[in-house]
Structure 1
Amino acid sequence: MADPKETRNAPQSFHARGDANAVTSVEIAAAALSVVWLVVAVWYFLAGGAAASGGGFAVTLLVVVLPVSMIWVAAMAIRAARVMREESARLQAAIDALRQAYVAQSQAGKGQPPHPQVVKRLDDLGGGIRNLESTLAMLGGIRQAEPQPGHSPAPSGADDQPTLSLGTPAEALQPPLSTDDLIRALHFPETAEDTEGFAALRRALKDRNAAKVIQAAQDILTLMSQDGIYMDDLRPDMARPEVWRAFAKGERGRTIAPLGGVHDRSSLALAAGRMREDPIFRDAAHHFLRRYDQLFANVESQLSDEDIQSFAATRTSRAFMLLGRVAGTFD
């Protein structure tokens, strides 16, 4: 049986396509202006204006055709801008729907885990919106930086960043990420209605170092959810802030053993088995642990003891505690 949501969305898409092909007020206005211009031009030439001006046939044709052509070029540009704005709105609505489905499914406890293709679909739709917005900016005469055609974006793990003139990194123009936004983003939004959580997540994704950890955490959380491992089910023993600071300064082994405060046997066993048997899961886990280690080492000096406690309570940190214990980081 078809999904009721898909049934409701189908007529909207159909009518949107039909409206895009229909005659609009823009075409009517362009046609009216063309007729008015042709009438004025015919009256002028019949009244003897052409003979008085001494223009030849080519000049006469240019005077008649060029304004009409410009009218229709402007009309087509306005129509294209309107169609792309509508398409951008539909893409944004699709992103919101996918986001709500993803969050609701990932927070559903032991329900069906979110499908990895959801994240890829969100990225594709986001890229479509950016392309549409770039085109709209060009039509409006605004020069806006955009990727070169045929050039694929750099992978999330790449260190190279686009630079502006005189070698200034593009990220240098972004305001620094606040501690509250970083902690909120690492915890991920609570529900689909958590507007503050999504706003913090968007701001964090503009920061290069934070974005790497968030993307790695999203990947590993999705993989663990396939085995029924959810961070909200874990109740780890929280280590003291000085233990976290020792970890940031490079201490390993028994000194930082309290960080492995996850004692849920089921989750530990499932994660350890997946680590041994699934090379994709193992690579994703080690990649996440490296990114988390680098981020915390960079921000530790800026965090108060209370901030460290909040940092350690996020879903991302719980995943670090679980996987770090499985990987032997705290041995």
Structure 2
Amino acid sequence: MVDESNGNATPIGLYDRPRSRDVTGIEIVAVALSLLWLLGTVVFFLVLEPRSESINSLQFIMTMLAIFMPVAMIWVAAMAARSSRVMREEGQRLNAAVEALRQSYMAQAQGSSRVGLEPTISKKLDEIAAAQRKTETAIAMFSTSRETHAARAPVTETVAVPIVDEEDQGLLALGTSAEDLAPPLPHSDLIRAMHFPETAEDQDGFNALRKALRDRQASQLIQAAQDVLTLLSQDGIYMDDLRPDLARPEIWRLFAEGIRGREIAALGGVRDRSSLALAAGRMKQDPIFRDAAHHFLRRFDKTIVEFEKTASDSELTSMSETRTARAFMLLGRVAGIFD
């Protein structure tokens, strides 16, 4: 796992549209130079140059060009300098994205090696290949209802529980992994991790992300969400730009219970036509994006089923406002699981 001491060095808050200041030093310098030039022209034409009785049109045009052409050149240079600065910041942003993805894979490999597992990039590629072969199965799964009521019904059969001496409680059955013994991930940490860190200085977001990556099911959802958010950002689709209509907690509970169709149509609250069109086109034309989207939808579906059992209405509402939930609303509507 990533060390706590270097959390600030991993800028994963990359799914927010870059924000630039409205007025920078470049504009201030351009304004100062423009005012200085205009002041100089006023001094020259009104004080130093003798006034002529007659001014023809050509002389007037040449005078205006002499006054305003340098001002225009100053602002052209200012705009070019600002564009160069924006390009440099965007380059740094892309470098940070590549570094964040690299550290994410390294953190997963290091954390898995401590518990005896060895998931590698090749294993992830195998999972994506398997997801491609099961695309039709995934669509069919979302169009049908799961019978979860029976799973929630009280069990009437008596189950024999082996009696273990208190002194022997430290002994584990063969095959028990350390992940099975770890305490469940708190809902607050899962919700914060699903939103991803805002900036490189968002220490709370990084701490929640580390905890989520130690949890087996949560880490699968976070990695799948990170993949689709990165792919969507390539088309200029940012979750912070979307303002979906938030569904009531009861609708999320119906979805977790396996209800499909018009009863849960409120979950597809994304109304941005350009984002829907871009995502739908990418879903049809790009098999990598399609596989990543279906894999993410499956992981979100499994996570919400477990999350809803113990989550309060306020926690469901907070979860629906995360970037991961917004990606689910967008891709779910494109995939047609709310129809």
Q: Which TM-score band (shorter chain)?
A: 0.5 to 0.7
Query: What are the within-5 Å matches in structure 2 for residues 156-175 of structure 1?
Result: 166-175=174-183
Aligned to 1:122: 103
Aligned to 1:255: 263
1:166 CA displacement: 2.1
Q: 1:306 to 1:123 in 2, by over 3 A?
A: closer
Name the CA distance, whole Å, in 1 between partners of 2:245 and 2:108: 41
Aligned to 1:179: 187
1:272 paired with 2:272, answer no
Aligned to 2:311: 303
Q: Which has the higher contact order (CA 8 A, sep 6+)?
A: 2
Q: 2:108 touches 2:213 (CA, 8 Å); kept in 1?
A: no
- Can you list the C-alpha shifts for 1:171-211, whole angstroms capped at 9, x where unaligned? 12212100101101101111111111110110011111111
- Can you list the C-alpha shifts for 1:88-134, whole angstroms capped at 9, x where unaligned? 99xx86x854x22x43x433448677467434421465479779xx9
1:194 paired with 2:103, answer no
Q: 1:114 touches 1:222 (CA, 8 Å); kept in 2?
A: no
TM-score, with normalisation over the residues of structure 2? 0.58
- Can you list the C-alpha shifts for 1:31-68, whole angstroms capped at 9, x where unaligned? xxxxxxxxxxxxxxxxxxxxxxxxxxxxxxxxxxxxxx
The DSSP-based 3-state class of the residue aligned with 1:232 is helix
Equivalent position amino acid for 1:303 in 2: A
Q: 1:298 to 1:125 in 2, by over 3 A?
A: closer
Equivalent position amino acid for 1:260 in 2: G
> Can you give the 5+ residue segments of structure 1 that lack an aligned partner in the other structure?
1-87, 135-143, 159-163
Aligned to 2:30: none
Which one of 111, 114, 123 corresponds to residue 155 of structure 1?
A: 123
Structure 1 runs of 4+ off > 3 angstroms? Answer: 108-120, 123-131, 144-148, 151-158
1:204 paired with 2:185, answer no
Name the CA distance, whole Å, in 2 between partners of 1:130 and 1:299: 24
Q: 1:191 to 1:120 in 2, by over 3 A?
A: closer
Aligned to 2:15: 106
Q: 2:212 touches 2:219 (CA, 8 Å); kept in 1?
A: yes
Name the CA distance, whole Å, in 2 between partners of 1:304 and 1:194: 26
Name the CA distance, whole Å, in 1 between partners of 2:319 and 2:115: 35
Name the CA distance, whole Å, in 1 between partners of 2:302 and 2:108: 28
Name the CA distance, whole Å, in 2 between partners of 1:251 and 1:130: 36
Q: 1:127 to 1:275 in 2, by over 3 A?
A: closer
Q: 1:184 touches 1:197 (CA, 8 Å); kept in 2?
A: yes
Which one of 214, 218, 233 corresponds to residue 222 of structure 2?
A: 214
Q: 1:179 to 1:127 in 2, by over 3 A?
A: closer
1:234 paired with 2:262, answer no
Q: 1:222 to 1:302 in 2, by over 3 A?
A: same
Q: 1:179 touches 1:303 (CA, 8 Å); kept in 2?
A: yes
The DSSP-based 3-state class of the residue aligned with 1:252 is coil
Number of aligned residues: 220
Name the CA distance, whole Å, in 2 between partners of 1:165 and 1:114: 47
Name the CA distance, whole Å, in 2 between partners of 1:273 and 1:181: 34
Which one of 307, 326, 330 corresponds to residue 318 of structure 1?
A: 326
Name the CA distance, whole Å, in 1 between partners of 2:315 and 2:277: 31
- Can you list the C-alpha shifts for 1:247-273, whole angstroms capped at 9, x where unaligned? 000011111100000001111111111
Equivalent position amino acid for 1:294 in 2: K
Name the CA distance, whole Å, in 2 between partners of 1:225 and 1:274: 12
Equivalent position amino acid for 1:279 in 2: P
Q: 1:328 to 1:109 in 2, by over 3 A?
A: farther
Name the CA distance, whole Å, in 1 between partners of 2:304 and 2:108: 30
Equivalent position amino acid for 2:123 in 1: P
Name the CA distance, whole Å, in 2 between partners of 1:128 and 1:329: 34
Task: Let me know the Cα RMSD of the aligned residues.
Answer: 3.1
Equivalent position amino acid for 2:99 in 1: V
Q: 1:328 to 1:179 in 2, by over 3 A?
A: same
Name the CA distance, whole Å, in 2 between partners of 1:221 and 1:107: 10
Q: 1:176 to 1:120 in 2, by over 3 A?
A: same
Identity across aligned pairs (percent)? 56
Q: 1:106 touches 1:114 (CA, 8 Å); kept in 2?
A: no
Q: 1:181 touches 1:204 (CA, 8 Å); kept in 2?
A: yes
Aligned to 1:73: none
